Chain A
Amino acid sequence: MAKHHVTTTINGEPVEFLCSTRQTLLDVLRDELNLTGSKEGCASGDCGACSVVLDGRLVCSCLVLGAEAEGKTVETIEGMAQGDSLHPLQQNFLEDAALQCGICTPGFLVAAKALLERNPDPTETEVRYWLAGNLCRCTGYDKIIRAVMRTADEVRGEAS
């Protein structure tokens, strides 16, 4: 079957790719575009390791077809740091040891950034429910939640 020609924007850059009908956006990112920062933990939308932002909405890229990216904007973990400076969430994940093995980390960072852009002052409960779609088996979530809350505090402090 002929492949689909898709024109999209990824991390601010115009990107064209060819994909088969059954390839997911995650497959395309990883296998066609070599953007392997998004991870496949389940391919069923349960673990969140493949989280990306599609037209401003947090999605599991394993549940989106590659062809659906046509004309849309995609933000992945690879676009989170600006030049050589980390996003405050990335910096605080490092400082607070909010990762152990690191496989879930890109998904958590993408999801947490999406949260703070919507809700700059989340309660602990709001952070926990927003991130309930991202599985981490190493940390027990404690240090992840703390890093997100601390980042929210810092970003609000800078804004005021």
Chain B
Amino acid sequence: MTGEKTEFKWVGTRAIRPDGHDKVTGRAKFGSDFALPGMLQGRVLRSPHAHARIRSIDTSAAEALPGVKGVITSADFADQSSELAAAGEALVNYRDMVRNVMAREKALYDGHAVAAVAATSAEIAEAALELISVDYEVLDHVIDVDLAMEPGAPILDEELEPAGMEASGPTNIAKRVDFDLGDVEEGFAKAEVVLERSYTTAAVHQGYIEPHAAVASVSEDGQAQIWCCTQGQFMVRAYTARLCGMETSQIRVTPSEIGGGFGGKTVVYLEPLATALSRKTGRPVKMIMSREEVFRASGPTSAGSMTYRIGATRDGVITAFEGTIRLEAGAFPGSPVQPACMCAVAPYDIKNVRLTGYDVVVNRPKVAAYRAPGAPISAFGAESIIDELAKELGFDPLQLRLKNAAKQGTKAAYGPTFRRIGFEETVEEAVASEHYSAPLGPNQGRGVASGFWFNIGGESAATVNITEDGTAVVVSGNPDIGGSRASLALMAAEELGIDYSKVRPIVGDTSSVGYNFLTGGSRVTFATGLAVVEAARDAVRQLCERAAKIWEVESDGVIWRDGHAVPASSNVGDFEPLSLADIAGQSPKTGGPICGHNAQNVQGAGPGFATHICDVEVDPETGRVTILRYTAVQDVGRAIHPSYVEGQIQGGAVQGIGWALNEEYIYNERGQLENPGFLDYRIPVASDLPMIETVVVEVPNDRHPYGVRGVGEVPIVPPMAAVANAIENATGVRMEHLPMSPPRLLAALDAARLPEAAE
């Protein structure tokens, strides 16, 4: 497929995004900016206990408060059977989902919803929450993944039956997964150097700046509309319909502009509650989470614990890799342990690999996807142990990666054989960069690390409507989370041969465009982009047919060139080229509206690889780490809009830096979250950072007409190990637990200094 197009007019330019003006003037409508006449305000009562049986809930006093129009609890939602149901490309368990949006038998985490109120004002709704009486039987709780796996740990769900393994009794282990390639025993037997290490990572929140928000309005005829900030309006429709016992077609979901998601808005929290409250009250209901609720009840990604063993020959060939990865799922099964295992050493051609993963429930919010789910966790350990191996072998860390790099034809431990990939190119660019050989000062160190993410395709539908004045409207169905309207419009302009400014892309609601799987998996520019390209080509076919009618020639006698219909050869006849506007203007006489369309389940996503270089300076007195310089190299396939490609890389790298250095949840002994705000859950701020240098490598994906791979996720995979490796080079201290915050690093530095002091 690739090679069709290598010269571009619009693709690769830094055009101004079509939604840009609305976003720099405050005009753009985000989740909480939407309002309807007669709208009620909804608020959620949340469990203050990490683990408690709910004996009873008395809502009568709240219902009696003037201004309160409705109160709901789990009794307002029918129970769901425990089975994995297809939801687009994803599999979900509605039994768990109905319990996560509203606790039933038990509250399973601090912040778990137990009731919700709709009232004429937010103040009244909040006052009503205080009047709801919940009789809790507080139970022992467990949050740490390793403790949750121990015998005698508090059990979240007595009925949980682990998949992929036998259990002798109640357990918190929801699933075991295994991946095997070659023969690890044989691989270790060949090894001349073997290292074994353990690592942990903290749970972190996606940290989108926009809290969840939804408005639902259910009409007397049972038809519902929902306006909300989400990564997938079709996902909201499907999940809300199921949880509220409605038909899918009864619900129309319009996505607002979305103020960040990073995977955290691929699930429902408020939408079913607002819909149930609207149905109960007969009024539109608006619900917004506070920042505290966002931290206590949404996200995060898993905390992880892993043990790795790696073996290599003295000449630098990695002969075996073995690991066990344990990930927290939160209150319900479903951590990203499978992708964590699959991505751990995917950049490398290792003949013998064995990875075992455990999905473990704990008393935290059910984890949600976070940018390359699972991969940053497993890669932190893998890229740290590979760095140690390089030191042990006397190898430059990038040269060791190059020597073992996966390439076209490499069989990955998780199954497939790679087609053309660009991992080696990212390492070679890093080696060649000026950054890699720049001098360092005292207390400074440089670290490198690499990363992998699959990228995905999935279901996409798009329409290209040719307007009567010769412009085009592109309708697609993925919320634009970081500039995707611009990339889709650039591709449509390229295919149609018209000016980018003549293309208007919009994000359709669930009733105005075919089904689109959600915005995630780095899929939109690739998969929905492919649907847009095909829809534009469909429009071009129709335009050529119309020109043939006008010229009264056979339709195969017309081709499309530079935005014009032209005769395919001089044999067809001598006609002046017809512009898109010429043909559009005559469309009523030649067959009516011209609408290109495409819908497909897109396959062939191209894997993404990245290699990062990080320089740090460590303050030996305080343990504070300053990021001095950072370079991210990534194979993107083809950069449709280079600025937004760079932006994805920079943003991902900085989220990884936050994960490395600062971000963690702090619980008290009762399992209550003590830092549910941006002051104490510290994401990186502008003064923490240098510029993030990017090197964009373009090894085209041969399964996309322009060569697009996904971009958004792989940049968060390398940073934690890159920072840890840099700290080790600066201080000689190897950090095996995240975050590497000042108190932790200072303790490690002190521990390393003690023997010297004693001498």
Distance of B643 from chain A, by nearest CB (Å): 4
Question: Contacts of B20 on A, CB cut-off 8 Å?
Answer: 93-94, 99
Question: Contacts of B272 on A, CB cut-off 8 Å?
Answer: none
Question: Is A15 in contact with chain B by the CB < 8 A criterion?
Answer: no
CA separation between A103 and B259, bound complex, in Å? 5
Let me know if B687 and A128 touch, CB within 8 A.
yes
Task: Report if A36-B650 is in contact (Cβ < 8 Å); known contacts: A80-B25, A97-B644, A145-B686.
Answer: no
Question: Contacts of A24 on B, CB cut-off 8 Å?
Answer: none
Question: Is A65 in contact with chain B by the CB < 8 A criterion?
Answer: no
Let me know if A145 and B691 touch, CB within 8 A.
yes
CA separation between A37 and B686, bound complex, in Å? 22
Stretch at the interface among B207-215, B319-327, B439-447: B207-215
Stretch at the interface among B82-90, B136-144, B455-463, B676-684: B676-684
Q: Which residue of B lies closest to A77 (CB)?
A: B26
Let me know if B686 and A127 touch, CB within 8 A.
yes
Question: Is B469 in contact with chain A by the CB < 8 A criterion?
Answer: no
Question: Contacts of A146 on B, CB cut-off 8 Å?
Answer: 691
Contact of B651 among A36, A102, A133, A137 (CB under 8 A): A137
Question: Contacts of B260 on A, CB cut-off 8 Å?
Answer: 100-101, 103, 137-138
Let me know if A100 and B25 touch, CB within 8 A.
no
Question: Is B483 in contact with chain A by the CB < 8 A criterion?
Answer: yes
Let me know if B25 and A78 touch, CB within 8 A.
yes
Let me know if A103 and B210 touch, CB within 8 A.
yes
| A binding-site residues for B, Cβ under 8 Å | 20, 22, 30, 35-44, 46-47, 49, 76-78, 80-81, 86, 90, 93-97, 99-106, 109, 125, 127-129, 131-146
Distance of B6 from chain A, by nearest CB (Å): 24
| B binding-site residues for A, Cβ under 8 Å | 14, 16-17, 19-21, 23-30, 32-33, 123, 206-211, 257-262, 288, 290-291, 481-483, 641, 643-644, 646-648, 650-655, 677-679, 683-689, 691-692
Distance of B689 from chain A, by nearest CB (Å): 6
Interface centre among A76, A105, A127 (most CB of B within 10 A): A105
Task: Report if A93-B24 is in contact (Cβ < 8 Å); known contacts: A100-B481, A140-B689.
Answer: yes
CA separation between A138 and B483, bound complex, in Å? 11
Q: Which residue of B lies closest to A96 (CB)?
A: B643
Task: Report if A135-B683 is in contact (Cβ < 8 Å); known contacts: A41-B209, A41-B211, A49-B209.
Answer: yes
Main secondary structure of the interface of A (DSSP, over half): loop
Q: A41-B291, A44-B291, A44-B679 are in contact. List 7 more A-B contacts (CB 8 A).
A: A39-B30, A43-B290, A44-B677, A44-B678, A93-B24, A138-B647, A141-B686
Q: Which residue of B lies closest to A36 (CB)?
A: B33
Question: Contacts of A43 on B, CB cut-off 8 Å?
Answer: 290-291
CA separation between A134 and B123, bound complex, in Å? 28
Contact of B23 among A44, A96, A105, A143 (CB under 8 A): A105
Task: Report if A102-B259 is in contact (Cβ < 8 Å); known contacts: A38-B26, A128-B689.
Answer: yes
Question: Contacts of A38 on B, CB cut-off 8 Å?
Answer: 26
Distance of B659 from chain A, by nearest CB (Å): 12
CA separation between A39 and B256, bound complex, in Å? 14
Question: Contacts of B288 on A, CB cut-off 8 Å?
Answer: 40
CA separation between A109 and B27, bound complex, in Å? 14
Let me know if A142 and B209 touch, CB within 8 A.
no
Q: Which residue of A lies closest to B260 (CB)?
A: A101
Let me know if A94 and B17 touch, CB within 8 A.
yes
Task: Report if A94-B651 is in contact (Cβ < 8 Å); known contacts: A22-B123, A44-B678, A137-B208.
Answer: no
CA separation between A135 and B681, bound complex, in Å? 12
CA separation between A78 and B685, bound complex, in Å? 25
Let me know if B650 and A139 touch, CB within 8 A.
yes
CA separation between A80 and B27, bound complex, in Å? 12
Q: Which residue of A lies closest to B644 (CB)?
A: A97
CA separation between A141 and B651, bound complex, in Å? 8
Task: Report if A35-B26 is in contact (Cβ < 8 Å); known contacts: A97-B644, A145-B691.
Answer: yes
Let me know if A144 and B257 touch, CB within 8 A.
no
Question: Contacts of A49 on B, CB cut-off 8 Å?
Answer: 209
15 residue pairs of the A-B complex, CB under 8 angstroms, read A37-B26, A47-B678, A78-B26, A80-B26, A97-B643, A99-B23, A101-B208, A103-B210, A104-B259, A105-B24, A133-B685, A137-B260, A137-B655, A140-B647, A140-B692
Q: Which residue of A lies closest to B261 (CB)?
A: A101
Question: Contacts of A100 on B, CB cut-off 8 Å?
Answer: 260, 481-483, 644, 647-648, 651
Task: Report if A135-B692 is in contact (Cβ < 8 Å); known contacts: A46-B678, A101-B210, A140-B654.
Answer: no
Question: Contacts of B259 on A, CB cut-off 8 Å?
Answer: 39, 41, 101-104
Let me know if B209 and A86 touch, CB within 8 A.
no
Question: Contacts of A78 on B, CB cut-off 8 Å?
Answer: 25-26
Let me know if A46 and B679 touch, CB within 8 A.
yes
Let me know if B123 and A135 touch, CB within 8 A.
no
Question: Contacts of B641 on A, CB cut-off 8 Å?
Answer: 97
Question: Contacts of B652 on A, CB cut-off 8 Å?
Answer: 140
